[in-house]
Amino acid sequence: MITVTKKPEMNDTIVRLCAMDDIPEEGSNGFLVETTEGRFGTLVVRKKTKIFVYKNSCPHIGTPLDIKAGQFLTLDKSRIICSTHGALFRIEDGYCVSGPCAGSSLLALSAMIYDDEIFINLPKPKGFGLKKVY
């Protein structure tokens, strides 16, 4: 995550994901990104002014991680947890420290903060284009 001083130029690659206020200060939320190639989920964790954004897909078998919609953290809020088989991931880098996919990592999406808005940089295969975020 980086904080930028100029508003990112929106295009097919850089999109506004949400506002900082959409994420509890020590919590998480999830958003769907719809593109011309299909849609995928994102998970966002906020630790005060820092945010961490990952694709919402467990490296074990590819399922979404949510415990409930938008909730990805253990009770003590120290790790991201997968609701399917309980894998635990470090918030800071998405590395799996325990569970059936130990040693693998969540796919990190590069994120920027500008004026309390969160933008992400999408992967851009040929023909990829943003339709909406929700």
The minimum distance between CB 43 and ligand FES, in angstroms, equals 12
Q: Closer CB to ligand FES, residue 73 or residue 82?
A: 82
The minimum distance between CB 97 and ligand FES, in angstroms, equals 12
Is residue 82 part of the contact set for ligand FES (CB under 6 A)? Answer: yes
Torsion of CA 107, 30, 40, 64, to 10 degrees: 70
Gap between the Cα atoms of 116 and 107, Å rounded:
23
Q: How many residues of this chain bind ligand FES (CB under 6 A)?
A: 11
| Span 104-133, contacts to ligand FES by CB under 6 A | none
Gap between the Cα atoms of 70 and 26, Å rounded:
13
**Region of 14-22, 31-39, 78-86, 123-131 interacting with ligand FES (CB under 6 A):** 78-86
Angle at 26 between CA 57 and CA 93, to 5 degrees: 45
Angle at 76 between CA 21 and CA 121, to 5 degrees: 40
**DSSP per-residue letters across 75-102:** TTSSEEE-TTT--EEETTT-BEEESTTT
The minimum distance between CB 62 and ligand FES, in angstroms, equals 7
The single residue among 8, 27, 41, 100 that binds ligand FES, judged by CB under 6 A, is 100
Is residue 63 part of the contact set for ligand FES (CB under 6 A)? Answer: yes
